[in-house]
Amino acid sequence: MIRQMLSADPHSPPLTIQQHIIKEQQRFPDASGEFSFLLSGITLAAKQIQTQVRRAGLGNFLGDYGSENVQGESQQKLDVYANDVMIQSLASRESVGVLASEENEQAMVMPHRSQTARYAVVFDPLDGSSNIDVNVSVGTTFSIFRKPDGVDFENPEQWVLQSGVKQIAAGYVVYGSSTVMVYTVGHGVHGFTLDPNIGAFVLSHENIRMPAQGKYYSVNEAYQKSFPDAYNRFISKLQSGEVGGTDYSSRYIGSLVADFHRTLWRGGIFMYPPTKTHPQGKLRLLYEANPIAFIAEQAGGLATSGSERILDIVPTGIHQRTPLIVGSKVEMDSLRHELELGD
Ligand code: AHM
Ligand code: MG
């Protein structure tokens, strides 16, 4: 279960994310400090993004930027801002050689071209951006890979076209009623809440465990007629109390980070199955499904595309899509059973 660290002793000094990362880094024998410096680039960017998200209605920061990204989706001003901030923060870290973003068609080689660079970061700078203008939670997702041996700056996409099991760290930031960052380096999942008084992410949830079963399912039911039958049978079972005897409620925000954050905390299941308009699923493997799947598994949950474990998928393209079903063990087992029966 989630342990509330802050309530343990209100007078103990807060443990910041920076201190926590340094502690985690000691698990790696060859740790040089560069990995914690890399992660500090992400927390710095997150603080800047959250500042603009919080003031979005005040400046001139709402609405369309007037261009489309590589997916053909219109870019919001905050998408562009968040992307610039992530790139600027990470480009100054010499340990980072390559970046890939939802907002950029190609993988980006960092101008320093440092021979000591050994990490690649993939990210969605502001996920769920259709929710920005209506003041609903949005988020940032990221995933970190080590540079594969023998790969250089001539082939930047090879730095990031790695299956999810190769992630060395992943996380997300949810800009909700508070700003929370959740991350894993493969030794459990930890959550940090931004304390606006001191401007630091402070450990608020250590060793987060996803409950084995929840009471919410999360799916865009407007598309139900175009889901494969197995998903509809499973949804019927949820609705009729046939999954662990639970009476389910539905919750769907339309921001993956927020929908997953609730699923991580409360248990249950999030689904974005194949649909007629998105037969390969809508969500992107590298910077949406992979970090969420890594965190889910580290917290005791499961994540599948419907046909295979998300973390085992070997990507062929930076913006490749996948169906994503992620959640608690009981719901995931019940869905697997329906999928095995076929359509
Ligand atoms: P985005 O990256 O363009 O913001 O799209 C991803 C978002 C996810 O956050 C969310 O889970 C999904 O799109 C919602 O899609 P839909 O509106 O089709 O239900
Ligand atoms: Mg996105």
- Express each pLDDT in 162-174 by its tens digit: 999 999 999 999 9
Ligand nearest to the CA of 283: 1
Which atom, in ligand 1's list, is nearest to the CA of 272? 11
Per-residue DSSP letter, 95: T
What pTM did the predictor assign? 0.93
pLDDT in tens, 121-174: 999 999 998 888 888 999 999 999 999 999 999 999 999 999 999 999 999 999
Length of the chain: 343
Q: Residue 51 has which token pair?
A: 């500042």
Phi then psi dihedrals of residue 174, to 5 deg: -110, 125
Ligand 1 center from residue 40 Cα (angstroms): 27
Ligand 1 center from residue 255 Cα (angstroms): 6
For residue 97, what pLDDT is reported? 97
Ligand nearest to the CA of 282: 1
Ligand 2 center from residue 231 Cα (angstroms): 23
Confidence of residue 34 (pLDDT cuts 50, 70, 90): confident
Residue pair 84/61 in contact by the 8 Å Cβ criterion: no
Distance CA(225)–CA(240), nearest Å, equals 19
For residue 31, what pLDDT is reported? 65
pLDDT in tens, 289-324: 999 999 999 999 999 999 999 999 999 999 999 999
Q: Residue 317 has which token pair?
A: 């393209």
Q: Which helix (DSSP H) or strand (DSSP E) does residue 157 occupy?
A: helix 156-160
Is residue 76 pLDDT above 60, yes or no?
Answer: yes
Distance CA(190)–CA(213), nearest Å, equals 20
Rounded to 5°, the CA angle 212-163-22 comes to 70
Give mean pLDDT, residues 221-231: 97
- Pick from 240, 264, 87, 84: nearest CA to 174: 264
Is residue 326 pLDDT above 80, yes or no?
Answer: yes
Instruction: Pick from 131, 283, 285 the residue to mutate for probing ligand 1's pocket: most ligand atoms within 8 Å of its CB.
Output: 283
Ligand 1 center from residue 272 Cα (angstroms): 9
Strand 249-250 to 216-218 pairing: parallel
Q: Residue 142's beta-bridge partner residues?
A: 123, 171
Q: Is 129 in the pocket of ligand 1 (CB under 6 A)?
A: yes
Give the CA radius of gyration of the chain: 19
Domains of the chain with bracketed CATH: 4-206 (3.30.540.10), 216-341 (3.40.190.80)
